[in-house]
Amino acid sequence: MALSIKQFFNTAGMLKDLRSFNFSVYGRWFGFINIILCVALGIANLFHVSGVIAFGIVSIVQGLIILFIEIPFLLKICPLSDNFIEFISRFETNGYRAMFYLAMAVIQYCSVILMVTSLLVVAICLTVSAVFYAVAFVKHQEFQNTNIIKNPADADFPHEAVVREML
């Protein structure tokens, strides 16, 4: 029996999150998209022969920082300095995350001064995340975790994967 990637996604949880109209969930979803975009487009912009290379490197670093902000479990399993963990733990509320994403977007918008590249997409998506977190802050919505990926303890989690995790 082959496993498909669809078996690991919690579609019922995603639909529940979508119907909740909690903008912090939407901000977190765009945060996951931003991780991929920051790293991928940062690497793609390393091949320019201009100062955009610096913004490409910054984009890769931003993607890694967002990874630790949006997936806090990684702070516990990765060997990191106490200063970095303290820095990341500051962004536990919607307001601080909105300011963080806005600052990251402004940095990427500055890359347009040198050359208009695909880093503009990164800046726009970071802005979307900032707007979602800001709306959640203004509406006084509680910060909520999302249930995109199934928990291995769930009954419908693929059994072969559970055995692999035990090994």
Give strand pairing partners of 9. Answer: 149
Q: Read off the pTM.
A: 0.78
Identify which has the larger pLDDT, 35 or 143: 35
Is residue 102 within 8 Å of residue 127, measured between CB atoms?
Answer: yes
Q: What is the pLDDT of residues 33-49, one digit of tens each?
A: 999 999 999 999 998 88
Q: What confidence score (pLDDT) does residue 1 get? A: 46
Distances (CA, A) of 76 to 27, 112, 119, 167: 23, 36, 31, 21
DSSP 97-148: HHHHHHHHHHHHHGGGGT---THHHHHHHHHHHHHHHHHHHHTTPPP-----
Arithmetic mean of pLDDT, 57-76: 90
| Amino acid type, 153 | A
Span 100-118, pLDDT tens digits: 999 999 999 999 999 899 9
SS3 9: strand
Q: Please tell me the distance from the alpha carbon of residue 84 to that of residue 82, in angstroms, as a whole number.
A: 5
